[in-house]
Structure formats: C-alpha cells, structure tokens
Structure 1
Amino acid sequence: MTDTAAGGRKVNRRGLATRESMLEAAVRALATGDPGAVSANRIAKEIGATWGAVKYQFHDADGLWSAVLRRTAERRGALPIVADTGAPLRDRVAATVETLFRGLTATDSRAIETLRTALPRDRAELERLYPHTAAELSSWGESWGEACQKAFADLDVDPARVREVAAFLPGAMRGIASERQLGTYTDLDVARRGLTNAIVAYLEHSRPD
C-alpha cells in the first residue's frame, strides 16, 4: 500500500502510519486551546519525530496545517444540513443550528479554532504565508454556502437571503458556544431558539406572496 507525501513522493505503509500519527498529534495539541500548540516543531517533538520528518511528510508548516484541516473535513463528512428535504423551513433551520452548536465543542472544532486564532487575520497575508491552508479554509466557506443553498432550494425563499444566513450563522453559533464555555447567566436554549426564530422569520419574509 502506498500513498503520496509532500512533493509527490510515494510513501509506504510505515510512512503512512507516521503521517497519521503526526496529524492526530497535531489535532490533539491544537484542541487543548494552547496557542503554543500551533508549532510544527512542537508537534514533531510530541511524537518523538524531527522537524525533518515533518518536512518529509508535509513539506512545511503550511502543508501540515492544510493537511490537518483536510483531515477534520474528511471526518466531518457532509455538512450539518437537514437531509430530509420534505421538512418544513423551521425544522431545517432548527436542526442546522443545533448541529452546529453541538459540533463546535468537538475536538476537531476546538483544534480548528486554535489554529485559526494563530494564523494571520489579513486574508492577503494568510494567502502569502500559508497558501495551502488558506485554500482549505476558502473551500470550506464555499462548500458551506453551497450546502445551505441546496438545503433550502426546494422552498420559496430568496437565495440571496440564504447566502446571508450562511455567512453569519457559523459566527453566531461560535458566539453562543463561547458563552457556554465561559459560563453565562443567559439561557442558551432560549438563545438558540431566538436565533432560529429570527432566521425563519427572515427567510419566510422573502417568500413570494
């Protein structure tokens, strides 16, 4: 059994096992929330490897972080959109909100948040320093937007409004999830229900009379 490592090299079963160990170590380290975990050297040390071994597998830090993002996307599979296209608008919105809320506390989600926090905020700078990582993040946004359009395509709602909802919903859910992690006097069940109601009202208002 062979696969391809950085630079197009073919790697054997042992090389694949090393690559898998590095990816899992990276996710575990990032999931701690420690900003210092965003270090390829640190990941290598945690599994008893060298920086040279990481470079052989991923070429550089950009290759490692883009591989981590790809791995979490593969494990996540289909985006959290209601599969039953016969469901009413409210059920679809509520299910999506709840799925995002639960998913944001998963190990992979915590790892992604730590990585994103450490990466450059400016898009041009991110693309210059970490082009492969930036491409992975960009593809996520595109896939999410497409999934949202598909989820509501059979309903009489304005696609432009669906795009707007797709744009703000992940950030809104991260805010609610953060409240849970920090501790809050706010009833988060009420918060999620209120967000669902607001989205439903906004999308329903775009239906033709």
Structure 2
Amino acid sequence: MSQATTNTRRANKRGLATRESMIKAAIASLATGDPAAVSGNRIARDIGATWGVVKYQFGDIDGLWAAVLRHTAEERGDLPANLAPGGTLAERVGALIDGMYVGLTTPEALAIETLRAALPRDHAELEREFPLTAAELASWKPDWEQACHRAFADLNIEPVRIRRMAALIPAAMRGISSERFLGTYGDLDDAKRGLIDAMVAYLTD
C-alpha cells in the first residue's frame, strides 16, 4: 500500500470522526429544548467550530439537519426487530408501545422534537426550504409502517389495520410522553395498558 493511500485513508477517518462528533454535539445542543439551538451559528458555537467548518462537512444547515435525522434513525434501528419470534399479539403490541415510550425520552428524540418545532409545518414549504431534511423525515413513515407489517406478518391481520395502528402509536405515545414531562395525576401505566388493550381488540375484531 502506498504512503499516499495510507494518508488518504487516515484523512478520511479523521473527517468521518469530525463529522460524527459534530452530529453528536448538534444533537446535544438541540436536546436542551432551547429554540435558539436551531440557529446554524449557535450550533457551530456549541460544536466548537466555525460555521465555515460546519458548511464544509454538511454543505448548509439543511445538510446538517438531514445528517442529524439520519443519525438518529440509525441509532434507533428497527424497533419491531426486537420483538420475540412467536410472541402473542399483546406482547408484540406492548413491545412496540414500550419501545416508543422509552425512545421518546432519549436525547435524540428530544433533539428531533426541538428541530421539528422550528421547521415549517407546510410540507410544500418544508420541501422547498429544506429538501434534504424533508426527505429524511418523509422516509420515516414508510420505514416504520414496513417494520410494523413485518412484526405481524405471521398473524394474518388485515394490512389496513396494521397501517392504522402504525399511524396511531407514535402520536399516542407522544401524548403520553408529554403528560409524563408536564406532570399528571393520571396513571400513565394504565394509559399504556389501555392503549395496548385497545390495539389488540382492534387488530382482532
């Protein structure tokens, strides 16, 4: 192996390590929940770099946000893959709900919520102003739906019901997580159990 090739590989490794550390620093900054954390200059400051260095790695703020979302998706993995083969319907639904419940407490989830709150709500505007970020966000829905279909593939459940369940679980768990964050006199374990029972009843009706 030539010295030039060795130097190039070392440089590539350093570049990847720098990029990774910047993504993690951006996630930590966003996870504070501070709306100002979505500022490119603020992120650069928290990362400990100039905005020019960040642009060199990611192109622009859209590239940075897309990289952050891709990283969180890779870290999260395929939630239904953790389901035990041959588990009952209730066990599988419960594993999905518990996995989502725990996942929404991670720094990555908090970072995503901060970022989403700052992004345009209108899809056309989002896709126009932040096309890479929009593409990453758009990819999550079909990936999650496909994972849910795989998790229940051997149980002969109507696909439309699995699709609707896949749409409901993230929204419902965000509501329960919000209650946990804000404080509540309600029993959130009962809320989760009720959601599991309702989903099982719906899927077996």
Contact 1:81–1:95 at 8 Å: present in 2 too? no
The separation in 2 between residues aligned to 1:131 and 1:56, in whole angstroms, is: 18
Q: TM-score, normalised by structure 1?
A: 0.90
**Bigger mean CA deviation after superposition, 40-49 or 118-127:** 40-49
The separation in 2 between residues aligned to 1:122 and 1:105, in whole angstroms, is: 26
Which residue type is aligned with residue 168 of structure 2?
F
Q: Point out where structure 2 has 5 or more consecutive residues left out of the alignment.
A: 1-5
Contact 1:82–1:92 at 8 Å: present in 2 too? no
The residue correspondences of 1:47-58 to structure 2 (distance < 5 A) are: 47-58=47-58
Q: Which residue of 2 aligns with 1:92?
A: 92
How far has the Cα of 1:82 moved from its partner?
4.5
Which residue type is aligned with residue 159 of structure 1?
P
The residue correspondences of 1:1-209 to structure 2 (distance < 5 A) are: 12-205=12-205
| Secondary structure of the corresponding residue to residue 180 of structure 2 | helix
The separation in 2 between residues aligned to 1:108 and 1:149, in whole angstroms, is: 25
**Bigger mean CA deviation after superposition, 72-81 or 42-51:** 72-81
Which residue type is aligned with residue 110 of structure 1?
L
The separation in 2 between residues aligned to 1:14 and 1:202, in whole angstroms, is: 51
After superposition, the C-alpha distances for 1:60-109 in whole angstroms (9 at most, x for unaligned) are: 00000000011111111222455323111111011111111111101111
Contact 1:85–1:154 at 8 Å: present in 2 too? no
How far has the Cα of 1:15 moved from its partner?
2.5
Aligned length: 199
The separation in 2 between residues aligned to 1:51 and 1:82, in whole angstroms, is: 39
Q: Which residue of 1 aligns with 2:3?
A: none
After superposition, the C-alpha distances for 1:8-60 in whole angstroms (9 at most, x for unaligned) are: xxx63333232122111100001011111112211111233111111111000
Q: Point out where structure 1 has 5 or more consecutive residues left out of the alignment.
A: 4-10
The structure where helix makes up a greater share of residues is 2
- State the 4+ residue runs in structure 1 displaced beyond 3 angstroms: none
